[in-house]
Amino acid sequence: MRLYSLSFITVLLFSTAVPANAEKTLRVETLPGVVKQGDACFVRASGPASLTSIYGEFQGERFPMASGVQNGTYEGLLGIDLNIRPAAYEIKFLATDGEGKVYRSGLWLKVKRADFKTQRLSLPSPMVDLDAETLERVDREEKRLKALFQGFREERLWGGPFVRPVPGEVTTGFGLRRIINGQPRSPHTGVDLRGEKGTPVWACNSGVVALVDQLFFSGKSVILDHGWGLYSMYFHLSETLVGEGDRVRTGAMLGRVGSTGRSTRPHLHWAIRIRGARVDPLSLVKSTEHLRE
């Protein structure tokens, strides 16, 4: 009897400690719950269906969120750059409903160190050292891509799960650190997927074609803008089949696998940027898998 009374009191105390209506709160979570350097991270919130605005804040920068398929759910994507310092980061959320009521929430996201491999290569100098003219071209192309990735389209064009652009397995993983002739080079910020020359390359999600060009390192290239600062890249193609400005849907054919640019055999270099963060495309596939109906 005594025990019964105690638990009854506990229930009463607990009931008054939480808001009377649970729908008046904003619950937030990330998928996965703990991430590592170079991961894409799906963010999900649930709360009142009447929210008129909702956004998150990570490292002092806002990121957009929008309604999910289910009523009262909201979703967004975060990019955890491959060079971020491993630590716990606070993510804050702010939402308002039609009546001007403000909802705040937050969570701490643990970022673990990724185990990126290092590859040491010795190559003849002419293969590595570029002449002045080529250096200038490379510099110009890098600046152009950098400016492109700073773009931010308010409209969300992606939806549902991200898919692999070719079925082939990974031949060079994401984040590989390369040291050529004793000099550290840029890390591998995409994945190389195996594919015979001519294999169709598909859009990993819906978007608009932001770039079609032949670049020095990446050869024939296509870049898609998926909105909200999310871009996908398809490099070393033998052929491109879309034009800048084209709207494409998930699975649309963008071109064919090739070995153009700095490449030794046919393969697809596939890369993703999320508001500037360089993330492993396969982690984006994994963190959005659950959106499959």
Asked whether the bond before 165 is cis by omega within 30 degrees of 0, the reply is: no
Q: Is 194 exposed, middle or buried (0-12, 13-18, 19+ CB in 10 A)?
A: middle
Task: Assess contact for 264 and 219: CB atoms under 8 A.
Answer: no
Nearest CA-CA partner of 141 in 200, 32, 214: 214
Smallest distance, Zn ion to C-beta of residue 267, A:
7
* Phi and psi angles of residue 117, each rounded to the nearest 5 degrees, phi first: -80, 160
Residue 156 or 269: which CB sits closer to Zn ion?
269
Distance CA 252, CA 192 (A): 20
- Of 123-131, 186-194, 255-263, 274-282, the window that binds Zn ion (rule: CB under 5 A) is 186-194
- Of 34-42, 59-67, 256-264, 266-274, the window that binds Zn ion (rule: CB under 5 A) is 266-274
Smallest distance, Zn ion to C-beta of residue 24, A:
48
Q: Does 280 bind Zn ion (CB under 5 A)?
A: no
Residue 26 or 233: which CB sits closer to Zn ion?
233
R_g over Cα of the chain: 23
Residue 267 or 275: which CB sits closer to Zn ion?
267
Residue 25 or 259: which CB sits closer to Zn ion?
259
Residue 192 or 225: which CB sits closer to Zn ion?
192
CA atoms within 13 A on the CB side of 287: 27
Smallest distance, Zn ion to C-beta of residue 23, A:
47
- Of 131-139, 141-149, 151-159, 265-273, the window that binds Zn ion (rule: CB under 5 A) is 265-273
Amino acid (1-letter code) at residue 203: A
Q: Does 192 bind Zn ion (CB under 5 A)?
A: yes
- Of 63-71, 190-198, 221-229, 257-265, the window that binds Zn ion (rule: CB under 5 A) is 190-198
What are the residues whose beta carbons fall under 8 Å from the beta carbon of 213, sequence distance 6 or more? 220, 221
Q: Does 39 bind Zn ion (CB under 5 A)?
A: no
Smallest distance, Zn ion to C-beta of residue 284, A:
16
Residue 226 or 269: which CB sits closer to Zn ion?
269
Distance CA 167, CA 182 (A): 35
Distance CA 56, CA 78 (A): 9
Smallest distance, Zn ion to C-beta of residue 269, A:
3
Question: Which listed residue (220, 226, 269, 273) binds Zn ion by CB under 5 A?
Answer: 269
Helix, strand, coil percentages (3-state) for the chain, rounded to 5, are: 20, 40, 40
Smallest distance, Zn ion to C-beta of residue 192, A:
4
Residue 66 or 170: which CB sits closer to Zn ion?
170
If phi > 0 it is left, if psi is from -120 to 50 it is alpha, else beta; for residue 229 that is: left
Question: Which positions touch Zn ion (CB under 5 A)?
Answer: 192, 269
